[in-house]
Structure 1
Amino acid sequence: MHAWESIQASVDYIEEHLNEDLQIETLANVASLSPFYFQRLFNRLVNKTVFDYIKMRKLSKTSEILKSGNSRIVDIAMEYGFSSHSNFTRAFKETFGLTPEQYRTEPVVLNHFVKPDLILNYVMVNENVPLVTDGMVLEIFRRRLEQPRVFAGIEGEIPIEQLMGGETTGVAAGAKLWENFHKIKPRIPNLLPDGNELGALYLGNAKEGNCIYMAGAEIIPGTTAPGYQTFEMPACEYLVCGFEAENISQLYGDAVFKADKFMNRWLKQHQIRTAAFGVEMYYPPSQDAAYLEHWSIPEVDS
């Protein structure tokens, strides 16, 4: 068994026992490692100490319960091992920037510290070869766009750190932009019937530490959308990372972070540089799965 497989076994165990009192000795035994070496290896591969990681995942789980259920906040805190209501409130606010009471009253989309699939850090596949992991399928391939595609929508600045592979927490600025976009989408002129929605990332005039993110939808070729931001995908060859998840919630949450992280590692491994923008192409979900693609333009050395 590889070292990352041992740590993955402990990560999977943690996820299945989040409402229990998890001890280092138990987790080290799951990983078939000594407690000392287990903690060192876990920190190295997950970028968190064991107990910090457990706390982050517990808080992610409690946020789901707060949003979907009617359980008392103090009962949720006790079930997931927080010593008191105030202790839970302090940890929740330090992590997400708002209290559990505020979140329950006005639920927003949160960035969580995502449960890692360590296989994405250690297994590499060739183009056109699917990689299956934890309910998600990824595949990297090339696609040529023969004609430009234009999208119209709204844009805003988001912190670059929010793009760092599900390793930051707080209110998700990109999700708020999408929420606002869907409110105004029906007013955008010349939308292409059954066209894709698109999220585009580029530096633009964003202040340091931020980037511009545009949420938009495809418009009919040769038309315009006065009053809205536009983004054109030029006709050329693209490198595409397609990924499929079991449901739309997983796709827009954990999967998008994991696929982006895998794509960045794949590009570095193959020494491929890309143009200074990236595109998320969204497809309507089916009953069986949800599908999304990352598009980027590989640069050609002159």
Structure 2
Amino acid sequence: MNNWDKINAVQRVQNYIEENINEPITLHRLSQAAGYSPWYTSRIFKQLTGKTPLEYIRVLRLSRAAVKLWDDDKRIIDVALDFAFDSHEGFTRAFSDNFGITPYRYRQKTPPLPLFRPSPVRSYYLMLQKGVLKMTEKKQMTTVFVQVVERPARKLILKRGISADNYFDYCREVGCEVWGILCSIKQALYEPVGLWLPERFRRPGTSEYAQGVEVPIDYSDEVPDGFEIIELPPCKVMVFQGPPFENEEFQEAIADVWQAISNYNPELYGFRWAKEDGPRFQLEPWGERGYIEAKPVRPINE
């Protein structure tokens, strides 16, 4: 069995879990999805994901359930049943063991939690095989949708790196758990982003690239340990959105949009780049919506 046989088998298991996360899942069914024995399926799954299948399912269900608990109209027992827990007590015990807080207390306070956000193993190993894409790569042009959006005065909860200028180096410096914590911040204005900080928002000895989430300007709730919060002034951003893509081709999709941005002249439409007005940012690459990135701009007459 070669490495790609393992990778594809584990990817099939991940896909099965994702499609059946609200239903009972047995190791026998996972082994059928993988095409190998239950023992070997468990072995290669832990080898490539760092978790046994049952650990993976448990923490993924608890993380999805935590987000559902934001809905005050949904009873805790209903959330538990939605994710295949058979009792309120069992769900409360599992939630408390994993996050250190009961579901009831979490609903009251909604502090940031390290939510589990799994990555498809096949995409990860394809990324390693291809290497990190650079903005200087030349790609065939593709259709990219462009619009200008107003951002209000707001705050940014972020985790800084050390010297990273891209996502991959950032993950090597600070780990890959940051995104899950950002996703747990209930008061977020938008989804979490990877961002490139202009000089005015950086601190000595910290990286250009970071990850964060924007919250209202009057946000005064808890900031996760190791994170900080800064204010961002109002600004305009020019948003570039590429076409949908196959998830395994996310690097190519990013390179297409980067090429479009590098060739784009905003002055033709009455704007100029305004790097110091705010961070340039990227949204998580989702194949169904296309890759999205934004850069600050100002009208030429300002």
TM-score, structure 2 as length reference: 0.50
Aligned mate of 1:96, from 76, 96, 99 = 99
Query: What secondary structure, in the 3-state scheme, does the structure 1 residue paired with 2:55 have?
Result: helix
Give 1:97 shift: 3.0
| Aligned-residue CA RMSD (Å) | 4.8
Contact persistence 2:115–2:183 (CA under 8 A) = no
1:164 is matched with which residue?
175
Distance 2:86 2:242 in 1: 39
Residue 267 of structure 2 corresponds to none
Q: Tell me whether 8-17 or 196-205 shows the greater mean CA deviation.
A: 196-205
* Residue 133 of structure 1: aligned partner: none
Q: Report the residue type matching 1:40 in the other structure.
A: R
Q: How far 1:82 moved relative to its partner?
A: 2.2
User: What is the rounded CA distance, in whole Å, between the counterparts of 2:13 and 2:35 in structure 1?
Assistant: 9
Q: Is 1:105 aligned with 2:111?
A: no
> Which whole-Å CA distance do the structure 2 matches of 1:5 and 1:243 have between them?
30
Query: What is the match of residue 291 of structure 1?
Result: 292
Aligned mates of 1:289, 1:109 — CA distance in 2? 28
User: 2:135 aligns to what?
Assistant: 141
1:86 aligns with 2:89: yes
Instruction: Tell me the equivalent position of 2:125.
Output: 122
Q: Distance in 1 between matches of 2:241 and 2:112?
A: 21
Aligned mates of 2:67, 2:227 — CA distance in 1: 28
Q: Where in structure 2 are there 5+ consecutive unaligned residues?
A: 138-152, 162-170, 190-194, 207-224, 245-249, 252-277, 295-302
Label 1:173 to 1:25 Cα distance change in 2 as closer, same or farther (>3 A).
closer
Cα offset, 1:12, TM superposition: 1.0
Q: Partners of 1:8 and 1:284 in 2: how far apart?
A: 23
CA change 1:73–1:61 in 2 (3 A) is same
- CA shift, 1:33, in A, is 1.0
CA contact (8 A) 1:113 1:167 kept: no
TM-score (norm 1): 0.50
Aligned to 2:146: none
Taking the aligned partners of 2:205 and 2:80, their CA distance within structure 1 comes to: 43
Instruction: Tell me which amino acid in the other structure corresponds to 2:135.
Output: F
Q: Against the structure 1 CA distance between its residues 94 and 215, is the aligned structure 2 distance closer, same or farther, given a 3 Å change threshold? A: farther
Note the C-alpha offset of 1:23: 0.8
Counterpart residue number, 1:282: 281
Q: Hey, what does 1:33 align to over in structure 2?
A: 36
Matched, 1:17 2:12: no
Q: Aligned pair count? A: 201
Q: Counting strand residues as a fraction of each chain, which structure ranks higher?
A: 1
Task: Write out per-residue CA displacement over residues 77-111 of structure 1, whole angstroms, 9 at most, x where no aligned residue.
Answer: 23323242122112212222322112223334533
Amino acid at match of 1:33: Y
SS in 1 for 2:135: strand
Q: Tell me if structure 2 keeps the 8 A contact 1:158–1:174.
A: no
Corresponding residue number in structure 2 for 1:50: 53
The equivalent residue for 1:255 is none
Are the aligned partners of 1:19 and 1:81 in contact in 2 as well (CA < 8 Å)? yes
Which amino acid counterpart does residue 41 of structure 1 have in structure 2?
Answer: I
Contact 1:92–1:99 (Cα < 8 Å) also in 2: yes
Taking the aligned partners of 1:174 and 1:69, their CA distance within structure 2 comes to: 16
Summarize the alignment of residues 174-193 of structure 1 with structure 2, pairs less than 5 Å apart: none
- Post-superposition shift, 1:18? 1.2
Q: 1:141 to 1:157 in 2, by over 3 A?
A: closer
Identity %: 24
Cα deviation code 1:157-202 (max 9, x no counterpart): 9699994213897x659959x96xx8xxxxxxxxxxxxx9849787
The answer (yes or no) to whether the contact 2:154–2:234 under 8 Å persists in 1 is: no
Q: CA deviation at 1:204?
A: 5.4
